[in-house]
Amino acid sequence: MAGCLDYARHDDMQILAPAKINLSLKILGRRSDGFHELDTLIAPISLYDEIRIDKGRHGIQFRCDDPSVPQGDDNLAVRAAKAFFETTKIEPAISIELKKKIPHGAGLGGGSSDAASVLLALNELSETKLSRKVLAEMAEPIGSDVPFFLFQSAALCKGHGEMISPVKLNGLFSILLLKPAFAVSTAWAYSRWQNSREIPGIRYEAQEFPEQAFVNDLERPVFEKFVFLAQLKMWLLSQPEVGAALMSGSGSTMFAVMQADADSVAKRAKGALDPELWTCACETL
């Protein structure tokens, strides 16, 4: 879960920052502040970025094993650390080392989870004992999904993502993630939502499986431009092992809720659709 903390010594910490999927994502309209009014059910999943934080000499040092990840103030983990030190008035002196396992630009919330996990870790490491409410106030300006990851639970999120009600899912879902080589910009997807149209023959309506409605209003604008994702969804729904299939967030990851072995479906997808597909079998937490 976000902020799975492992104390190595009193001056360093290892953190597992989980990815997420949107089991449902409904857009209720555009707000006057430019954000969109959301009603989304989000679940953390067992795919993790690995973060190590060490107390350093001065400032905030950041390094990552993935060169495509933004650096400096463009990185959400760095922004989270800055927000923490500005709020607490503690002199920053840490290094953050990030090992990326969650793909970038995938709709899986990796950057947001990294940011939330850094806030939780610094709160422990600095012994500041800040409440979750205070941490959430720091998290909200960093990104819409960051407050969600502070709760370490599946949650119903409203507003532009900041109104969070933790929920217990009806059991664990076995999930197969599939992502093509391209990424989708979240800001772009939301900007196209209002004027987008459905592609004939593609299934957009809610899928009921089991006792859960799977639906994503961002599929409409994203599928219009990235037709491969629409084809991938329909291919997944045609597989006997798949109970439901949906895009997570703004994409480009599609996920399948599995009734049987995920590995055989992953292998078939690569053979039938794209040998370069990134795939990962995991489950909701």
Per residue in 53-89, pLDDT tens?
Answer: 999 878 999 999 999 898 988 999 999 999 999 999 9
Q: How confident is the model at residue 199 (pLDDT cuts 50, 70, 90)?
A: very high
114 a catalytic residue: no
Q: What is the pTM of this model?
A: 0.92
Between 209 and 162, the higher pLDDT residue: 209
- Among the options 12, 20, 179, 217, which is catalytic? 20
Reply yes or no on whether the pLDDT at 234 is more than 70. Answer: yes
pLDDT tens for 97-144 read 999 999 988 999 999 999 999 999 999 999 999 999 999 999 999 988
Intrachain domains 4-166 and 174-283 with the same fold: no
Reply yes or no on whether the pLDDT at 49 is more than 70. Answer: yes
- Decide: residue 178, CB within 10 A, 0-12 exposed, 13-18 middle, 19+ buried: buried
- Among the options 49, 114, 145, 217, which is catalytic? 145
Task: List the domain boundaries for the chain.
Answer: 4-166, 174-283
Average pLDDT, rounded, for the chain: 92
Strand runs labelled E in the chain = 4-9, 12-30, 36-55, 59-64, 93-99, 155-159, 163-166, 174-179, 207-208, 213-216, 242-247, 254-258, 278-283
Domain covering 4-166 in this structure, CATH number: 3.30.230.10
% of the chain beyond a pLDDT of 90: 82
145 a catalytic residue: yes
Structural fold of domain 174-283: Alpha-Beta Plaits (3.30.70)
Reading the block at residue 15, the tokens are 């953190």
